[in-house]
Each structure stands twice: as C-alpha cells, then as structure tokens.
Structure 1
Amino acid sequence: MAEMSGKHGPRLDDQLEHETEGMVRGGRPTHVEEFKEPEPVSDDSGRDPTSDSPPAEGTPPGMTPADVERRAEFARVIVGVRYPASASEIAEHAAGQGAPDEDVDALRNLPDRQYENLADVTGELGIGQENRRF
C-alpha cells in the first residue's frame, strides 16, 4: 500500500500542502493585503506608550546594583536550605557550600530566630529587597 493519509484523502492532502507551502518556507503569514495581517502582541502593559524612554531594565525599585549582586551571592551559597531555618543552620549550610568566610560570619551574626526564605535572610542582613515583583 502506498503512503497512507490521515483524515483526508491524498488529493486533499496535496492541496493543503500546496496552500501552506508559502507559510512554511517564508516563516511568516502570506497575506497580500496588510489589513489581513494579525496585530502584533504588545508586552509593554505597564509602560506609557507615548513616552520616548525605553522600558526600565536593571535593578528593581528599592535595591542598588550592589544589593542585587550581594543577594545573588547569598542565593548561590544558601541554595538547598530547608526553610524555616535558624541562623546557625543557614550559616552551617553556607559553610558546607564553600561560602566565603565573611558571608558565613555575617550569617552567624544574624539574630537567633526562624527565617522563612532568602528575602527574609537578606532583609535581616540589610541588603535591599524588591518592593514588587516584575
């Protein structure tokens, strides 16, 4: 038996293949009239479309670039901590991950209480926190 067709007959399959060939080769819609083209999706919902300024990138409000880097360093060394955790548990985990001594000392000097997450730890260390999530 020759090539089996799915739902359609071989003739309809060839016709559908011919109709979609332009889209497959061109990688875009093949409408001749511009008004038939779909509208592009806009992803700048929180931005004023009439302003000329580009969307803000970089650090979140309430944090400096140094805060972001410092928080990222702490995130790398305390990844895998099971929260809630005490300051000593977090410090021991960081030491086991090969954290720098100054970071381990900073974690050991945290107030003795239960910490819920990384933001809780970095907030106690005085590293800035995001005011809102993007």
Structure 2
Amino acid sequence: MTDKTNKHGPRLDDQMEHETEGLVRGGHPTHAEEFKETEPVSTDAGRDPTAGTTPGEEGAPPGMTADDVEERAEYARMIVGVRYPASGREIAEHAAAQGAPDGAVAALRNLPNRQYENLADVTGELGIGQENRRF
C-alpha cells in the first residue's frame, strides 16, 4: 500500500477515507443527531450591511407583513386571559374590561356571532394576515 498523502500515514488515510465514505456516496451529511451538522453559511455577497433591512428580513412569517404581526400582538395583549372557545361578544367584553382602545373593542363587537377557538381564529376574522406555514 502506498502512502496517499505526505501529511498522514497510510493507516490514518484509510481511517479518514472510511469516515467520509457515507458523505461521498450519499451526497449529504450522515450524522444522525442534528446538533452534529455544520451550520449553513449565508451568502452575503452583494448585500450592503449599511442599507438596512430588505422586505424579506423584517421578521414576519410568510403570509404576514410586519404590520400584521404588530396588530396581532396588540390584539393578543388586549384579550389575554380569554377562555376559549368564546363568542365575539365575550371577547369584546373582556377586551373592554382590560381597557382596550375603543376602536379595537368596536372591531371585536362587530365579529360574527360564533364561537372562536383561539387568537388566530379571532384575528383571521378581523382580516389580519395569517402565516402560510409554521416554522
């Protein structure tokens, strides 16, 4: 057996070849535990770091704008503690008792008369954007 590199001996070369065989054959990492995977490298080529954020970097999930996220968060603070399922009227009364702004209480009072299961159900009925997929 000839020496494959001038850095290692033939024994270490064979061991290293065996360790990387799955990666070479499979075309992807072979670690069973995700924490052993290497982190992906972002390609910042051509991006000016002083230019601020771009629309895709605002932190909003797909299907929502940054304004939708903020508005949904405001409603979440107003109706915290509501026991679901709840009617639109119950949600509006709870928000009013919490000192929510009159405009928000009016919007909640105008909800269709049905049972709401959660905050996403309420904000969806109010026309606030919904995320397309969960992370």
TM-score class, shorter: 0.5 to 0.7
- Structure 2 alignment gaps of length 5 or more: 1-34, 48-55
Q: Which runs of 5+ in 1 are unaligned?
A: 1-39
Aligned partner letter, 1:63? M
Residue 67 (structure 2) pairs with residue 52 (structure 1): no
For residue 130 of structure 1, report the CA deviation from its aligned partner.
1.4
Let me know the Cα RMSD of the aligned residues. 2.5
Instruction: Give TM-score scaled by structure 1 length.
Output: 0.61
Kept in 1, the 8 Å contact 2:58–2:66? The answer is no
Give the alignment's TM-score, normalised by structure 2: 0.60
What residue is the counterpart of 1:100 in the other structure? Answer: 101
1:1-134 equivalent positions in 2, closer than 5 A: 41=36, 49=40, 52-53=43-44, 58-134=59-135
Which amino acid in the other structure matches residue 123 of structure 2?
T
List, as ranges, runs of 4+ consecutive aligned residues in structure 1 with deviation greater than 4 Å.
Answer: 40-44, 53-57
**Distance in 1 of aligned mates of 2:59 and 2:36:** 23
Identity of matched residues, %: 74
Letter in structure 1 aligned against 2:97: G
User: 2:79·2:91 contact (CA, 8 Å) conserved in 1?
Assistant: yes
Q: Secondary structure at the match of 2:71?
A: helix
Which amino acid letter does the alignment assign opposite residue 58 of structure 1? G
